[in-house]
Amino acid sequence: MNIFEDRGGGKLHWKLNLYVLWVCVFFTCASYTMCVPFLPVYLLQHLGVAQADVNSWTGLIYSVTFFTAAIMAPYWGAHADRIGQRLMAIRAGFGLAVTYALMGMCQSPEQLFGVRLLAGLVSGFVPASLSLVSSTLPAVKMGWGMGLMQTAVASGSILGPMLGGYVSAWFGMRMSFYIAAGALFVATIMVIAFVRDVEHEKGEGKVIHIWADLKASLQNKGLLFVMSMFFLVQVCVMIVQPLITMYVSYLLGGVVNDDVVKTAGIIFSLAGIAGIIAGPYWGSRGQKRGYTKTLFMVFICAGAINMCQFFVHNIWQYAAVTFIYGLFLAGAVPNINARLVEVTDPSVRGKAFGLVTSAQQFGGVVGPLLGGFLGGFLPTRLILVLTGVILVCAGVYTYLTKVRGVPQKA
């Protein structure tokens, strides 16, 4: 197939957009995970925070970025519809590169909190990239393309902590922030040099009425469904984060040491590895069978597998169930993204991606808080089972409201 594809608004260099943005999203996710998971160590060893206070500071510094990003996402999305997705990606890329460099220069937890707040305000590189890819992909490649982009998110998120660990050991932790900033700068230059924007009327000069736009967008029932599914998936993914290390410790006999931390990191990455393997398959299946029908299957299977955590009694069983769970859950994001493209007009695609990003970011806030709260009085095994029940319920809801009685693709 020719690398140019006609979408009615001219020929678009969709293959080059896809592959370049894949690399850029990989760099962005790897930059995040090579630094942010190690913030507690950074606070202790470099910023002088006492052991008794490190958990409180870590919680504040994590949550402030999610919170401000959730607030700003609809605004940046609406702005993208005025000036184009490409310029939004460039803005976010340079902005994040600056904030990562500033994190490496911080001398106090208060400074780090302020920089992380700023990072949330300027964020949006990944949603802008996904929106741009979805707007330039041929319709017949939508499921496959969004599945391929999901592998960039998953692989960057997996390799980032390993890179961060080695860089910190060899050059010190501050260097991790500077390398992450450099990677984001390179990714942004790649967007400037190689990526083309979608060709539609952008509406320069129009005033953004964020609340009016929000109300109008929320009248789109298809968009509301996509937002709720993104929120739910993010909650189910993040709910285990405060619990996984201690649960691994429990399965290994109750001892907390370096081996437990390494094992917890490996197991946490298993779902991401599964995403790399299965993401393109589920995207292609959604393209052929229908996105909501595939999403129904993904939710039911992932939920049922995670409910098997009730029978887990050793670390190998936990690792196996987590990996299989990841193989199915990997189908959620590409099919939700593809469904988003189906239910929104290209002229408001940036606004739509901004809203779903906001829902996803709020899921990132709620998930860890809920996990920490439930972990105070429920065994971790039952919390994992609960996420399975939630996903099965989401699958049933998807079937009853979006699949039953609706003609599906052959």
- Per residue in 274-289, pLDDT (tens digit) is 878 887 888 888 888 8
- The C-alpha atoms of residue 79 and residue 341 are separated, in whole angstroms, by 18
pLDDT tens-digit map of 353-400: 777 878 887 887 788 778 777 877 888 889 899 999 999 999 999 999
Predicted pLDDT at 405 = 56
- Single-letter residue type at 124: G
Write the DSSP symbol of residue 13: E
Nearest to 139 by CA among 295, 342, 348, 278: 342
Q: How many CB atoms lie within 10 A of CB 257?
A: 10
The residue count of the chain comes to 410
1-196: CATH topology is Growth Hormone; Chain: A; (1.20.1250)
User: Could you tell me the pTM of the whole model?
Assistant: 0.71
- The C-alpha atoms of residue 251 and residue 153 are separated, in whole angstroms, by 29
Q: Which residue has the higher pLDDT, 19 or 156?
A: 19
What DSSP string describes 94-156? Answer: HHHHHHHHHHHH--SHHHHHHHHHHHHHH--HHHHHHHHHHHHS-GGGHHHHHHHHHHHHHHH
Predicted pLDDT at 256 = 55
pLDDT tens-digit map of 94-146: 999 999 999 999 999 999 999 999 998 998 898 888 888 878 888 788 778 87
Q: Which residue has the higher pLDDT, 323 or 247?
A: 323
Q: Rounded mean pLDDT of the chain? A: 81
Segment of 7-11, 13-17, 322-326 carrying the highest mean pLDDT: 322-326
Instruction: State in words which class domain 216-410 has.
Output: mainly alpha
- The token pair that represents 191 in the structure block: 């967007």
- The token pair that represents 131 in the structure block: 């929106």
* Tokens 């080695």 found at: 166
pLDDT tens-digit map of 33-51: 788 777 777 888 888 888 7
Query: 1-196 and 216-410 share one CATH topology?
Result: yes
Residue ranges per domain, the chain? 1-196, 216-410
Q: Is the pLDDT of residue 9 over 80?
A: no
- The C-alpha atoms of residue 377 and residue 9 are separated, in whole angstroms, by 57
Report the pLDDT averaged over residues 258-282. Answer: 74
Q: What Cα–Cα distance (Å) separates residue 63 from each residue in 67, 101, 361?
A: 6, 20, 10
- The C-alpha atoms of residue 180 and residue 230 are separated, in whole angstroms, by 27
β-sheet bridge partners, residue 172: none
β-sheet bridge partners, residue 4: 13
pLDDT tens-digit map of 155-182: 887 777 777 777 777 888 899 899 999 9
Q: Under a CB-based contact definition with an 8 Å cutoff, are residues 149 and 335 in contact?
A: no
Predicted pLDDT at 114 = 95
Q: Which residue has the higher pLDDT, 208 or 300?
A: 300
Predicted pLDDT at 265 = 64
What value, to the nearest 5°, has the Cα angle with vertex 101 and ends 96 and 103? 95
Q: Which residue has the higher pLDDT, 90 or 133?
A: 90
Nearest to 373 by CA among 260, 241, 237, 233: 241
Q: How confident is the model at residue 14 (pLDDT cuts 50, 70, 90)?
A: confident
